[in-house]
Amino acid sequence: MRVRRVRAAVRGLDPATYLQPSENVLASLPRHRASAVPAFVGILLAWAGSSTAAVLVSLLLPAGLRLPVAAAALALLLLLHASLAVATWLRVATSRTTITDQRVYHAYGRLRYLLLQTTYDRVTDLHVKQGLLGRARGYGTVVVQTAGAGIALVGIPDPFGAKDRIERAREAHVRTLIAEHAPARAAATASTAAARGAGAATATPGGVDAPAAGAPIVQPWQGRPTASALLPHVAPPVLLLVIGLPVLMLLGTVSRLAWPLSAFLIFSSLGALRAIVRHQTSRYEVGERGVAVSVGWLSRRRVETTYGKITDTTVEQGLLGRMLGFGQIRINTAGSNDVPILFEGVREPEAVKAILDAARRQAQA
Amino acid sequence: MSADGPASGAALGDVAAPMEARPSLLAAVEVFGRVAGTLAAVFAPVVVFGAAARPGPWSWVGWTGLGLAADLVPGLVAAAIPAVRLAFTRYHLDDEGVRVRTAFLGRSERRVPWGKVTLVRHRRTLLDRLFGLSRVEIVAYGDRGAVLHLTGLRDARPVRQRAAMQMRRSASVAGLFRND
């Protein structure tokens, strides 16, 4: 019974537990056992290096402590590296790559596991890497790259063959998509032509596809930060001047706190001034093709993006924002690590987000 | 349900119906473990050297007690914040995309459309295993874009399957030629 459990733990997850119901498996590849050798060599070197360092450090201790500390450290290091070796072996033994007609999966682990999956239309390129040992023993790594992320299929037997299988599966998937797309495109074209003929739909100035007939046309939205969003920025210096200073004067401690109070007043006033300038000069737009934000007084900055480039949107409202009805919308794209478009201090951010979603749906339609 | 269970189309239900999942508060234990573990690594030498420097009948007990207090109290405080956040967090999956919504004192909602999802990760750590949880990460353009962490899921398989199905449904010829 125990042996069966151990065998089950080493086998890893059965692909049938994570495949989609309508998928056909083209290949199911376990990881090549020899691909564990570099990791084992690394663990061995780390163990030898750390053990040597532990012995050398123990020599600096008083004579009575040397032997017990060195023995304890060596035993601990041995246990640690043996655990690492077992974990590495389990990872190798349970790794499996499954290539289906729609997706590629890579899974490893049993007690703790990781399953990665992506569909072929997301795949941008395939990389094959093969080291010296890999060439000798016939394994390598295939990296299935998607935009901004990817799946490294480590220790794949016959990596070039696996890459060819993935390529063929991807081509077949693309052909399926084109076959699905053609009737939908024809129907959309016919619908648009009929709508144009009836004068129901109007072409947008930017050359964007006209919205589908019958769909409500979303009005472009333009906005600016609400005045109540200034409150957190303006309140600190005002409160200090109106309440803080009189109270401190009554207590007779103004002269002792003159420097910190002056510094706080200067910095908070500058922050409030900056917030007021941003408030007065910020303009937000949700248009037919995308969103834009422009900000600045002396130097002006305008950032635009189309709906197709937006990866994620976040609506945030703090406690004060919820009480006063304002919040911020972060609109992210895949172009940079920063959030490029930020609608700050927007009144009713959920409603603006709904307009943005509707406009995006319309543009995509 | 866990990822070990058999896959079946019946478990998916209607694809068009929105799905809502809520995280288990046990997911916050990980934060506690991380903070307490880090602090334990910092304070362990202090305890050992402190006790060795001032030997006495109660020295080890006192120093160990001090070390434990220094680990556990900040760990509990650090875990309390994400636990409260998790209690007010919901994961929504619908035809358009996946949303993570937290509404406690403030409110935040992060949304990724299915068309932008590039990868789905289903992960289970040993701690997750202990509590019967797992986590799904919805990756949209990796570090350049967004990663939505759906942690503390008692039943991650329908979420992962819904994500896989919606990724397939959102696949389009236009997407293949998108220049991003």
Helix (H) or strand (E) holding B85: helix B59-87
Look at residues B89, B151, B100, B96 and name the one whose alpha carbon lies nearest to residue A315: B100
Q: pLDDT value at position B12? A: 39
Residues B135, B123 contacting (CB under 8 angstroms): yes
Q: pLDDT value at position B84? A: 87
Which chain B residue shows the shortest CA-CA distance from A150? B119
With respect to CATH, is domain A221-364 assigned 2.30.29?
A: yes
Alpha-carbon span A340 to A314, nearest angstrom: 12
Q: pLDDT value at position A71? A: 93
ipTM: 0.79
Number of Cβ pairs < 8 A linking chain A and chain B = 169
Low-confidence ranges of chain B (pLDDT < 50): 1-13
Long-range contacts of B68-77, Cβ-Cβ distance < 8 Å, separation of 24 or more:
B70/B39, B70/B43, B71/B36, B71/B39, B71/B40, B71/B43, B72/B36, B74/B35, B74/B36, B74/B39, B75/B32, B75/B33, B75/B35, B75/B36, B75/B39, B76/B32
Instruction: Give the residue carrying structure tokens 């490294």.
Output: A152
Alpha-carbon span B28 to B127, nearest angstrom: 11
Which residues of chain A have a CB within 8 Å of the CB of B120? 116-118
Which residues of chain A have a CB within 8 Å of the CB of B140? 148, 311-312, 334
Helix (H) or strand (E) holding A48: helix A37-58
Q: pLDDT value at position A163? A: 94
Q: How far is CA A310 from CA A246, A351, B60, in A?
A: 51, 18, 58
Q: How far is CA B40 from CA A80, B44, B70, B82, B125, in A?
A: 18, 6, 8, 20, 21
Instruction: Give me the residue spans of the domains in chain B.
Output: 30-83, 91-171
Which residues of chain A have a CB within 8 Å of the CB of B169? none
Q: pLDDT value at position A218? A: 65
Which residues of chain A have a CB within 8 Å of the CB of B145? 147-148, 311-312, 332-334
Rounded to two decimals, the pTM is: 0.77
Residues in chain B: 180
Which residue of B100, B104, B108 is the best one to mutate when testing the A interface, meaning the one whose CB has the most A CBs within 10 A? B108
Instruction: Give me the residue spans of the domains in chain A.
Output: 2-170, 221-364
Query: Chain B within 8 Å of A24 (Cβ-Cβ)?
Result: no
Residues A137, A159 contacting (CB under 8 angstroms): no
Q: pLDDT value at position B180? A: 55
User: What angle is formed at CA B100 by the lines to CA B104 and CA B154, rounded to 5 degrees?
Assistant: 95
- Please judge whether A149 and B3 are an interchain contact, meaning their C-beta atoms are less than 8 angstroms apart: no
Phi, psi torsion values for B3, nearest 5 degrees: -70, -10
Q: Which of A13, A148, A178 sits opposite B141 (nearest CB)?
A: A148
- Please judge whether A103 and B164 are an interchain contact, meaning their C-beta atoms are less than 8 angstroms apart: yes
Per-residue pLDDT tens listing for chain A (365 residues): 566 766 666 677 788 888 988 889 999 999 999 999 999 999 999 999 999 999 999 888 888 888 888 999 999 999 999 999 999 999 999 999 999 999 999 999 988 889 999 999 888 889 999 999 999 999 999 999 888 788 999 999 999 999 999 999 999 998 988 888 777 667 767 766 676 665 544 444 333 344 444 555 667 889 999 998 899 899 988 998 888 888 888 888 878 888 888 899 899 999 999 999 988 999 999 988 889 999 887 888 888 888 888 888 999 999 899 899 999 999 988 766 677 789 999 999 999 999 998 888 888 77
Helix (H) or strand (E) holding B119: strand B119-124
Which residues of chain B have a CB within 8 Å of the CB of A18? 3, 7, 122, 157, 160
B123 DSSP β-pair partners: A114, B135
Alpha-carbon span B98 to B117, nearest angstrom: 10
What is Dmax (Cα atoms) for chain A? 99
